Amino acid sequence: MEDPTSNPFEFGRELALADLVDREEELAELQRAGRECRKHFLIGPRRFGKSSLLAALEETAGKERGGPIVLRYNAERFSGPDRLARRLVADAAARLPGSVERIAGAIKRLFRSLRPELSYSPDTRSWSASIGVAAAQDALPALADALDGVERMAKDLDRPVAIVLDEFQHLVAGGAQAESQIRAAVQQHRHVAYIFAGSDTRLLTAMVGEAGRPFYRLGSRRFLGPIPRAAFAGFLGRGLAAVADVTDDGIAAILDLAEDVPYNVQLLAHACWEAAREASAAVTRAFVERVNRATAERQNPVYAQLWSSLTMAQQRTLLAIIYQGDEGLASTKVARAYGLPVTTIQRAREALMAKQVVREEASGSRLRLRLEDPLLGAWVRLFIPGPA
């Protein structure tokens, strides 16, 4: 057995294309949408790998001859639509060919209605832009104008541009008006692809799935599910085999305890790799369970704080979800066992979803409740007294 020094399991950052397990189909879909200037929605729970897929799209587009120019943003990081508009203008400048003067001229023409002022820093070879937005109510129209400008640019260059908006729900948080203003711009465009990604599954699902909403049937949709177990198991087995003996049941335990959430799978695999190397132990189910408990323990400050931020009703409802599953959550038997009226449980369940502690997952014809972070379940089982 070799003794590699670097842990092959990574969590918490966008992965590079070469590090992605599976997801070929999802990536091909994004690439097609980019080439064909379509609109595509990528919707999935937190930490399932949305941003990594978007990064992979950007990576492959850069290598593909005639592939789209990818402009990728996380909407969460902009304090308003006008800020995003400004960035679009600056990034458009960075992608145009020619001399600084020529680019500045082209930007003024393409984004005329925004009256952009550009500056170029030769040191960092980067552009920055300011635009004339006076009032808050002009921020969304400014974004729509910037998108129109990108459409003109793509047409001029005769090359598709893909605008990728991660955590897209933040942009339309302004309500129905924001949705319809963005749609009005986007639906006209034929030379720009739009990839909208987001993790507020319920909100986004309603946005694209309800007739009458501006984004209804605007483009194709993909709900990002878990990574197929066979592919993930193969990846885990290869990584762990370099430092320890590995059993199939040990690998299955990693996927079980992490509830197939890709981030949690990598987190637990990372910890197992370290522990197995340290102790020269075999990766069995019992070993994985021990490592998972130790990992939950290390996160004690974080989970303790989360727990104490919940109301008593929310805490008890969470206990019921962890110990009972959500099957009987609406039953009077569970309500009695946890000392809460059924209606209180219902309200607490909604609050736990709003706080992103739990999420709904389609399971056959019904919706099942899952913990957003399965490790929280392990922490609760360790530190909080269970139901009698």
Between CA 383 and CA 72 the distance in angstroms is 41
Between CA 80 and CA 83 the distance in angstroms is 5
Q: Stretches 44-52, 95-103, 186-194, 229-237: which one binds Mg ion (CB under 5 A)?
A: 44-52
Taking CB atoms, the residue at the shortest distance from Mg ion is 51
Beta bridge partners of 71: 163
CB of 166 to Mg ion, least distance (A): 6
Neighbours of 305 (CB within 10 A): 9
Q: Stretches 50-58, 89-97, 307-315, 336-344: which one binds Mg ion (CB under 5 A)?
A: 50-58
| Residue nearer to ligand ATP on the CB measure, 55 or 104 | 55
CB of 83 to ligand ATP, least distance (A): 20
Contact residue for Mg ion among 51, 169, 264, 315 (CB under 5 A): 51
Q: Stretches 51-59, 206-214, 315-323, 326-334: which one binds Mg ion (CB under 5 A)?
A: 51-59
CB of 287 to ligand ATP, least distance (A): 21
Which of Mg ion, ligand ATP, none lies near 47, with the C-beta cut-off 5 to 8 A by kind?
ligand ATP
Question: Of the candidates 37, 40, 16, 59, which has an alpha carbon nearest to the alpha carbon of residue 162?
Answer: 37
Contact 153, 62 (CB under 8 A): no
CB of 242 to Mg ion, least distance (A): 29
Beta bridge partners of 355: none
Beta bridge partners of 192: 161
Which residues make up the interface to ligand ATP (CB under 6 A)? Answer: 10-15, 20-23, 44, 46-52, 199, 227, 262-263, 266
| HSE-CB of 148 using CA atoms within 13 angstroms | 18
CB of 232 to ligand ATP, least distance (A): 7
| Residue nearer to ligand ATP on the CB measure, 21 or 178 | 21
The residues, ordered by sequence, that sit 6+ positions from 165 with a Cβ below 8 Å of its Cβ are 73, 75, 171, 194, 195, 196, 197
Number of residues this chain uses to bind Mg ion (CB under 5 A): 1
| Residue nearer to ligand ATP on the CB measure, 12 or 364 | 12
Distances (CA, A) of 323 to 65, 160, 294, 337, 381: 54, 51, 20, 12, 9
CB of 125 to ligand ATP, least distance (A): 28
Residue 127 parent element (H or E): strand 126-130
Which of ligand ATP, Mg ion, none lies near 70, with the C-beta cut-off 5 to 8 A by kind?
none
Using CB atoms within 10 Å of the CB of residue 318, give its burial: 0 to 12 exposed, 13 to 18 middle, 19+ buried.
Answer: buried
| Residue nearer to Mg ion on the CB measure, 51 or 264 | 51
| Residue nearer to ligand ATP on the CB measure, 82 or 260 | 260
| Residue nearer to ligand ATP on the CB measure, 145 or 373 | 373
Which of Mg ion, ligand ATP, none lies near 295, with the C-beta cut-off 5 to 8 A by kind?
none
Distances (CA, A) of 74 to 7, 121, 164, 197, 215: 28, 24, 8, 9, 19
| Residue nearer to ligand ATP on the CB measure, 23 or 86 | 23
CB of 57 to ligand ATP, least distance (A): 12
CB of 98 to ligand ATP, least distance (A): 35
CB of 171 to Mg ion, least distance (A): 15
Taking CB atoms, the residue at the shortest distance from ligand ATP is 49
Q: 40: helix, coil or strand?
A: strand
Distances (CA, A) of 7 to 28, 101, 142, 239, 289: 29, 48, 46, 8, 20
| Residue nearer to Mg ion on the CB measure, 51 or 181 | 51
Which of ligand ATP, Mg ion, none lies near 12, with the C-beta cut-off 5 to 8 A by kind?
ligand ATP
| Residue nearer to ligand ATP on the CB measure, 15 or 37 | 15
Between CA 159 and CA 313 the distance in angstroms is 56
- Strand 161-166 and strand 39-43: the pairing is unpaired
SS3 content of the chain, % helix, strand, coil (to 5): 55, 15, 30
Residues that bind Mg ion (CB under 5 A): 51
